Amino acid sequence: MASKPGPLTRWPWHDMGNYKYALVAPWAAYSTYRFAAATARGEEGDLLSFFVLPTLLFRLLYTQLWISVSRHQTARSKHRIVSKSLDFEQVDRERNWDDQIILTALLFYVVNSVAPMTQGLPWWNPKGMVLTVLLHLGPVEFLYYWFHRALHHHYLYSRYHSHHHASIVTEPVTSVIHPFAEEAVYFGLFAIPLLSTMATGMASVAVANGYLVYIDFMNYLGHCNFELVPKLLFDLFPPLKYLMYTPSFHSLHHTQFRTNYSLFVPFYDYVYGTMDKSSDDLYERTLHGREEAPDVVHLTHLTAPGSLLHLRLGFASLASAPLDSRPPLALAWALAMVERPLAALASLLGRTAFRCEANRMGKLSTETWVVPRYTSEYTSKKDGHAVSRVVERAVADAEASGAAVLTLGLLNQGYELNRNGELYVIRKPGLKTKIVDGTSLAVAAVLHMVPRGARDVLLLGKECKVVCVLAQALCERDIQVRVVDADLHEALGQQISPELRGRLALSCSHSSKVWLVGDGLTAREQEKATPGTHFVPYSQFPVTAGGDARADCVYHSTPALVAPESYENLHACENWLPRRVMSAWRAAGIVHALERWPGHECGDAVTGVDKAWRAALAHGFRPYDAAAVRHAANGAAKPGQARADAN
């Protein structure tokens, strides 16, 4: 929203949400029916009206492709232009990027229905192509230039254009984020070539729709925040610098504000002396940039086919919200439709991990890499070996990139897969990159969620490193650890210090008010809990989902921490965690690098629960507990305060 919103700032369908597409539906249905009926009668249908819907769908897909490519390139950093932070506020502000596509479709339908000169257009007319180019280079670019300069006058800027300039770090869709009144003027300018060709009988379906795609391409090019225009083009045809801008050229308009006003053609900036003098230098520097080496790499993986869309490289609106294991029916239906194509895409990407996100905390550079394999493949004996090779290759790539620390997220640290990461250290004893499985900080986060005053807990699940360290830490804090599984009790008895084994008990009762649970807790098992029981997961996956949850019990989050304010460029949620909250395993790698601890935390090696917790808090991380947040939001007392000895 502009700093002082003026008249007609809001779009007419602002309150409709995604139901705004219903405005297009009757027009699309009618034009399709009319075209089919004409074809059935052997007559020539109206191509312009018929192609409105395919063009709309193509532009939506095309825009999403630009978003994904841009985010991937800016995560790589080599050709990135502006390296400042992008936040959730900007993502929310720009989520209505499809408004202008819908408006275009509606205008095409309306004009086609009332203006006979727009009906029965041929597929192609070269004269219309020439006229469109001339009118765009002349009146459209000239009028836009002066209108844009007027928008930077204080009165119009504060009421309209400041909304667009709120984004210093641009993304492709930033180009179309404007108040409705401002966008309406742009539509009037772009209509000059379209209406002129129709009035002169030179219009064609290909030119009309091609002009829209050209506008999209140039808009997204100028706001993508990475330089991709090859210098060879300007070397072969030097005058091109006056006819085509570059991403770095327009980025200066967003950082300097008073230069580079042109739409797509810099000619008018040269003529009127508003070209930024650093344009050529910035272009050269970003085109021949140097890729920044990460200090920390967090290695995660896909959970389900739909999770590919929730990545930062996927749908921005989905990535900026927690992954819902039980999405709304409409979204679930849409995900089901694309599940197989997404699985095929992941399979094509499956040879190595790909870079998804880049962040910074002070001088520390961090990246998130994604192994394009699903949870089901990690747990499958058939696919396990292939997954192991991809993870091992990612470890080698991290070391080659110069990363000081690699954290193993989700199932990348499974004992069966790599013995909690120890396998990579055994195979390469001189491994410079420190492998961190995050056990210490994860256990500390679990201890924080145990309600104050709890004297006993029920520990469920299978034997694993986290369970052993957690049981030891609980016993050290004088908390009775009850176990119902005899095999787990025996295994823990061998791991816990002899003087603490008296606090470990084999029990057949489920009456404890605190359950510490791993993966696979079933609804039937949850039914055994007494009302008011706290379910505290120590695993990387949530305890339960949606309808399986008991309303009379308290469900805590997976071990996680709130990221410090100094952690920049965080605008995508990590799986099911809310905004600016990261898993304890991911945070552990950052803390490990900040503290410059010399050893690995993998295999049997443990950094130390209290040591990791104190270091995390010292660097600005804050405890997170979803149950506490829900109770605070409801005005109730928090169910579990931080234990004094865990702080």
Query: What pLDDT band is residue 329 in, cutting at 50, 70 and 90?
Result: low
Indicate whether 173 pLDDT > 70.
Answer: yes
Q: Which two tokens stand for residue 85?
A: 């932070």
The DSSP element (H or E) to which 179 belongs, if any, is: none
**302 CB burial (10 A radius; 0-12, 13-18, 19+):** buried
- Tokens 């506008």 found at: 215
Q: Is residue 595 a contact partner of residue 436, using CB atoms and an 8 Å limit? A: no
Residues 6+ away with beta carbon under 8 Å from 378: 301, 384, 387, 411, 414, 417
Angle between helices 52-76 and 99-114 (to 10 degrees): 160
Helices (H), 527-600: 584-595
- Taking the C-alpha atoms of residue 559 and residue 583, their distance in angstroms, rounded to an integer, is 6
pLDDT at 76: 86
Helices then strands, each counted (H, E), the chain? 28, 15
Choose between 546 and 295: higher pLDDT.
295
What's the angle, vertex CA 643, arms to CA 642 and CA 644, rounded to 5? 110
Tens digits of residue pLDDT in 65-103 = 999 999 999 998 899 999 999 999 999 999 999 999 999
Query: What pLDDT band is residue 637 in, cutting at 50, 70 and 90?
Result: very low
- Taking the C-alpha atoms of residue 157 and residue 556, their distance in angstroms, rounded to an integer, is 46
pLDDT at 349: 62
Tens digits of residue pLDDT in 232-265 = 999 999 999 999 999 999 999 999 999 999 999 9
- Per-domain residue ranges for the chain? 17-288, 296-322+331-439+578-623, 441-561
Q: What are phi and psi of 424, to 5 degrees?
A: -70, -30
- Taking the C-alpha atoms of residue 252 and residue 633, their distance in angstroms, rounded to an integer, is 42
56-60, 155-159, 276-280, 311-315, range with the lowest pLDDT: 311-315
Q: Which two tokens stand for residue 379?
A: 């747990």
- Tokens 């999770």 found at: 307
Q: Is residue 301 a contact partner of residue 585, using CB atoms and an 8 Å limit? A: no
- Taking the C-alpha atoms of residue 459 and residue 448, their distance in angstroms, rounded to an integer, is 16
pLDDT at 547: 53
pLDDT at 642: 37
Tens digits of residue pLDDT in 483-508 = 999 999 999 999 999 999 999 999 98
Query: What is the distance between the terminal CA atoms of the chain, rounded to a whole angstrom?
Result: 42
Tens digits of residue pLDDT in 394-417 = 999 999 999 999 999 999 999 999
Helices (H), 263-374: 267-271, 279-287, 316-319, 329-348
pLDDT at 328: 65
Query: What pLDDT band is residue 638 in, cutting at 50, 70 and 90?
Result: very low
Q: Mean pLDDT, to the nearest integer, of 377-390? A: 89
Residue 298, amino acid: H
Residues forming beta bridges with residue 420, ordered by sequence position = none
HSE-CB at 513 with a 13 A cutoff on CA atoms is 12
- Taking the C-alpha atoms of residue 297 and residue 391, their distance in angstroms, rounded to an integer, is 13
Indicate whether 645 pLDDT > 50.
Answer: no
Q: Mean pLDDT, to the nearest integer, of 146-151? A: 98
Tens digits of residue pLDDT in 332-362 = 676 667 666 766 766 666 678 999 999 999 9
pLDDT at 573: 97
pLDDT at 326: 64
Residues present in the chain in total: 647
pLDDT at 640: 41
Tens digits of residue pLDDT in 30-73 = 999 999 999 999 999 999 999 999 999 999 999 999 999 999 99
Helices (H), 51-87: 52-76
Q: Is residue 57 a contact partner of residue 51, using CB atoms and an 8 Å limit? A: no
Four-point Cα dihedral 499, 502, 505, 506, nearest 10: 80
- Taking the C-alpha atoms of residue 539 and residue 465, their distance in angstroms, rounded to an integer, is 11
Q: Is residue 581 a contact partner of residue 560, using CB atoms and an 8 Å limit? A: yes
Tens digits of residue pLDDT in 104-113 = 999 999 999 9
pLDDT at 641: 39
Which range among 134-148, 327-341, 371-385 has the greatest average pLDDT? 134-148
Mean pLDDT of the chain: 92
Cβ neighbours of 25 (radius 10 Å): 10
Question: Beta 560-562 vs 581-583: how paired, if at all?
Answer: antiparallel
- Taking the C-alpha atoms of residue 307 and residue 3, their distance in angstroms, rounded to an integer, is 36
- Tokens 């305890």 found at: 543
The DSSP element (H or E) to which 407 belongs, if any, is: strand 405-408
- Taking the C-alpha atoms of residue 192 and residue 400, their distance in angstroms, rounded to an integer, is 54
Tens digits of residue pLDDT in 207-218 = 999 999 999 999
Q: What is the DSSP string of 585-606?
A: HHHHHHHHHHHT--S-B-TT--
- Taking the C-alpha atoms of residue 92 and residue 38, their distance in angstroms, rounded to an integer, is 44
Superfamily of domain 441-561: NAD(P)-binding Rossmann-like Domain (3.40.50.720)
Q: Mean pLDDT, to the nearest integer, of 300-328? A: 86
Residues 6+ away with beta carbon under 8 Å from 484: 458, 460, 506, 507, 508, 509, 510
Indicate whether 567 pLDDT > 90.
Answer: yes
pLDDT at 404: 97
Q: Mean pLDDT, to the nearest integer, of 569-589? A: 97
How is residue 226 annotated by DSSP?
B
